[in-house]
Structure 1
Amino acid sequence: MKLSKARFTAALAMSCLVAIATLTTAGFNGGGNNQVGGVSIDPAGVVRTATVQENQELVNLLRQEVAVPRGDLAAPADLRMVSLAGLQEAIREVRKTGGRLPAEIRYLAGLTAVDYVWADKDHNDLILAGPAEPWTLSETGSVVGKETGAAILRLEDLVVALRNVENARAQGITCSIEPTAEGRQRLNAFLRRVNLRPGQSPVALEAGMKEAFGPQMIRLNGIPANSRYACTLVAADYQMKRLAMALVDSPVKGLPSYLQMSRNTAHTGTQNPRWWMECDYESLTRNEAGTLWKLSGQGVKTMTEQDAIAANGEAVASGNVDKIAQKWADSMTGNFEQLAKAMPVFGDLQNLMDLTVVSTLIVQEQLEDRSGLQLDVLRDQDALAPIAFDAPQTIAPECSFIKGRSGWVVTASGGVSVNAFQVVHDQRVDPALDEQLVSSIAGGSWWWNKTSN
């Protein structure tokens, strides 16, 4: 398409959704909110940017709900053990009083990752172990570790992951934010009707381009669309695109935007870079007895491919990769750990990957039967009913522009894919993996720190 002598396509990225969720116990509803991370979602599923006042009101609300950790929970631990048997019993005790689940239960004793899964046959237990920190609120209302800023694992995400393993088996867990074919056609028609004067920026056409392009559609598979899990997938996908298209400043020095990398390069209006994030670990190993598993690696990598845009506006995977788009994807993967602490939604995504692999492992390896612990409380909708949020459905387009060698640059789409089954399938035996994670459960607590040998 041509505007005067310049060729360009719009960088139409998406608004973001992150939802916070609490858990309900029988006869008691916890509080919830459809605003976090600077955005809001309305009952129609439309996302908009939250105002400064709304953001501050959210943080004030959460301060009342996120209790300050005390005792041993107020100190970090290199390896904290969480007994799922003890956790379920703690939830049962809360149910008896009809009270709200305390913060230490909702935030899994401050775990920031899952490194080990242990089927403890001697105590009829399943134990998750990983690093842990006292939790606090970030400026955007995310619950993060006080020491490093790493996102804290959520019981609600574990519940959703565990209950949807079979759904994931049938259809996979995916999220995508996609322009419509009709929107692309309307945009092309709009661009054919206008002309840019020499030296004029297409920014002047932004309002018309947005109206022509219309809302982009959110598609979710494998998990409930109104869950916090689903909202986190949407948020992470959106934030990735905003970083790529320079709609938000990167908090990581080594991760410039794709638009910055694309300056003074050639582009074509019939090719569209697409990025998505996948579940990716260095390894899943187990001991010879098949009672202990270790999960290694950051869990997330960024992928890219070029979509070919047909005349009818449909996007089809071309199998080709743009070199600069690949360079940006590699840069995001390489800087992901730092990015996840600067933008907690990416840390939340890492945690979803961990909890989904853990849940898939439990089901695939029949760890409930092998350990003698049935996760009946975690599976019981009456015992733990995640609050249903307004499901994200559409996101308004945003525009970003940069001058390339042959015109103005580019549109983006993509998503998130969580293939935990492949990770579990590819596990291998490590004879050196130590099984002795714990010696005792001190004081009957459902969580404890590993002491030095």
Structure 2
Amino acid sequence: MKLSQARFMIAIAMSCLVAVASQTNAQFGGGGFGNNVGGVSIDPTGVVRSATVQEKQELVNLLRDQVTAPVGDLTAAADLRMVSLSGLQQAIEQSIATGDLLPAEIRYMAGLTGIQYVLLDEQNNDLILAGPAEPWTLSETGSVVGTETGAAILQLEDLVVALRNVENSRAQGISCSIEPTAEGRQRLNAFLGRMKLRPGQNPSALEAGMKQAFGPQMIKLNGIPATSRYACILVAADYQMKRLAMAIEDSPVKGLPSYLQLARNTSHAGSMNPRWWMECEYDSLTRNEEGTVWKLTGQGIRTMTEQDAIAADGTATSAGKSDKLAEKWATSMTERFEQLAKEMPVFGDLQNLMDLTVASTLIVQEQLENRSGLELVVLRDQEMLEMPTLDAPQTIAPECSFIKGRSGWVVTASGGVSINAFQIVHDQQVDTSLTNQVAASRSSTWWWNK
């Protein structure tokens, strides 16, 4: 029996992502393993692989020395915490002058778990980011999360990258994709055409040959440096989405089965393959009439899908339609994204990137530095505040998953992450109920609770 006629679904996805190797940085730390971004191990040639148990533990041990616990008022959560960018820059300058590692309260932006407001404080020549905040801790997987909800904590490193790359992303936005090669698809189809299964044989016996034929999948990044933590978050989140869809990773959220589970006992055309990606989408971005307060509403992420048509030469083009079951899975992931982000912090990190990128784009588009009289020199200057450098992710090895179906399937999981913050900022609306109460609640420190 030819493999293409077997009653199995064959899903090609990516290999495991675990820890990120980075260069030592005098301000942000690192060295050997560096910042965790949802579990990624990238070797110097850009190959992403699964880390060993020992490597995972070494990563957590290293970060434990750097992720110091909050103190004072930062040990309590707040529904709305204000972070002054003027005060933040001053705190960074003071810390740089000592030559020490930036304090955790600076690196983790006073414990913010999201951005709800961007505020212009002309009276104090300041710009303020505001949102919910929690005390932070290091999770067992090496993510920095809130102690109360498990939400991912915003990181200064990502704000800096977002702000410095607004103009770079103007033409085509910020994006990440993990794509099979046309040559790999051709080799896989040829391999499947040659193989035969004995009655009752599981096609997993041919997994090694399938992986070799399919070859590595290529990582493409646009709009941000490939060596940044920001970029590795995009790759890790994209990868984890595909693992969930392809049933390689068990879903930690009730009501979010894999796409393969939804597609069990259904038929599928081998020339049509589903693609999933996550894009930046909020319920609204509103501002007051004076243009001094902006409010972001919504979770910031929506999972999308469409079908790719695979030609005989292995190239893929959009078919202009989507598979109903793929749509169902994308909708389910969107609806459960907030819960998923608490269970798998890399998705929370991705939400934070969306918030930081929209806030940074808003600052540039609305010329808020000029209007406030605050120049974000420290955040923008690479020599003054140097970002850690990671090994850029370039390729991911294939991995297979098998589920019985009515006909032989070969499903390639491609897609990515797309962040078009300019569209979000362009579509802002006026909300006359928004008021600027910053002056009344302002503190002498660089952060305070409202």
The corresponding residue for 1:385 is 386
State whether structure 2 residue 131 is matched by structure 1 residue 130.
yes
SS at match of 1:401: strand
Q: Deviations over 1:234-265 (max 9, x none)?
A: 00000000000000110001100000100011
Query: Separation in 2 of the partners of 1:122 and 1:23?
Result: 39
The list of structure 1 runs, each at least 4 consecutive aligned residues, that deviate by more than 6 angstroms after superposition, is 20-23
Deviation at 1:412, TM superposition (A): 1.1
Distance 2:363 2:425 in 1: 10
Report if the CA contact (8 A) 2:29-2:66 is conserved: no
In 1, Cα distance between equivalents of 2:269 and 2:116: 44
Match of 2:49 in 1: 48
Q: Which residues of 2 match residues 145-156 of structure 1 at below 5 A?
A: 145-156=146-157
Matched, 1:31 2:30: yes
Greater Cα offset, 232-241 or 56-65: 56-65
State the partner residue of 1:14. 14
Q: TM-score, normalised by structure 2?
A: 0.96
- Superposed, 1:170-189 pairs within 5 Å as 170-189=171-190
1:74 aligns with 2:75: yes
Q: Which amino acid aligns with 1:146?
A: T
Please state how far the C-alpha of 1:368 moved relative to its aligned partner.
0.2
With the length of structure 1 as denominator, give the TM-score of the two structures. Answer: 0.95
Indicate conservation of the 8 Å contact 2:277/2:304, yes or no: yes
Q: Does the residue aligned with 2:266 lie in a helix, a strand or coil? A: coil
Deviation at 1:320, TM superposition (A): 1.2
Q: Which residue number corresponds to residue 279 of structure 1?
A: 280
CA distance in 1, matches of 2:173, 2:22: 23
Match of 1:168, SS state, is coil
Q: What is the CA distance between 1:96 and its match in structure 2?
A: 1.5
Using the TM superposition, name which of 82-91 and 5-14 deviates more: 5-14
1:184 Cα deviation (Å)? 0.6
Query: Alpha-carbon deviation of 1:2?
Result: 4.9
Question: How far apart, CA to CA, are the structure 2 residues paired with 1:53 and 1:320?
Answer: 45
User: 1:186 Cα deviation (Å)?
Assistant: 0.7
CA deviation after TM superposition for structure 1 residue 203, in Å = 0.5
Which position in structure 1 is the counterpart of 2:96? 95
1:13 and 1:412 in contact (8 A); partners too: yes
3-state DSSP class of the match of 2:238?
A: helix
The alpha-carbon distance between structure 1 residues 211 and 20, as it changes in their structure 2 partners (threshold 3 A), is closer
Q: How big is the alpha-carbon RMSD for the aligned residues of Structure 1 and Structure 2?
A: 1.7
Q: CA–CA distance in 2 between the matches of 1:416 and 1:128?
A: 24
Q: What is the correspondence of 1:54-453 to structure 2 with a 5 Å cutoff?
A: 54-408=55-409, 410-442=411-443, 444-450=444-450
Q: Which amino acid is the alignment partner of residue 345 of structure 1? A: V
Asked whether the 8 Å contact 2:74–2:110 carries over to 1, the reply is yes
1:24 touches 1:101 (CA, 8 Å); kept in 2?
Answer: no
- Structure 1 residue 17 displacement after superposition: 5.8
Q: Deviations over 1:70-98 (max 9, x none)?
A: 11000000000000000000111112211
Paired with 1:81 and 1:121, the residues of 2 have a C-alpha distance of: 15
Structure 1 counterpart of 2:3, which letter? L
CA distance in 2, matches of 1:188, 1:9: 14
Partner of 1:169, secondary structure, is: coil
Partners of 2:299 and 2:86 in 1: CA distance: 27
Contact 1:8 1:269 in 2 (8 A): no
CA distance in 1 between counterparts of 2:191 and 2:35 reads 34
Q: How many angstroms does 1:24 deviate by?
A: 4.4
Return the alpha-carbon distance in structure 2 between the equivalents of residues 34 and 399 of structure 1.
30
- Give the distance between the partners of 1:349 and 1:251, measured in 2 at CA: 17
What stretches of structure 2 of length at least 5 have no aligned partner?
none
Residues of 2 paired with 1:35 and 1:393: CA distance?
Answer: 18
Unaligned runs of 5+ in 1: none
AA aligned opposite 1:379: R
1:99 partner SS: coil
- Contact kept? 1:38, 1:51, Cα under 8 Å: no
Distance in 2 separating the partners of 1:227 and 1:84: 22
How many pairs were matched up? 447
Where 2:114 maps in the other structure, the secondary structure is: coil
Which SS does the other structure have where 1:339 is aligned?
Answer: helix
Q: What SS does the aligned partner of 2:440 have?
A: coil
- More off after superposition, 156-165 vs 28-37: 28-37
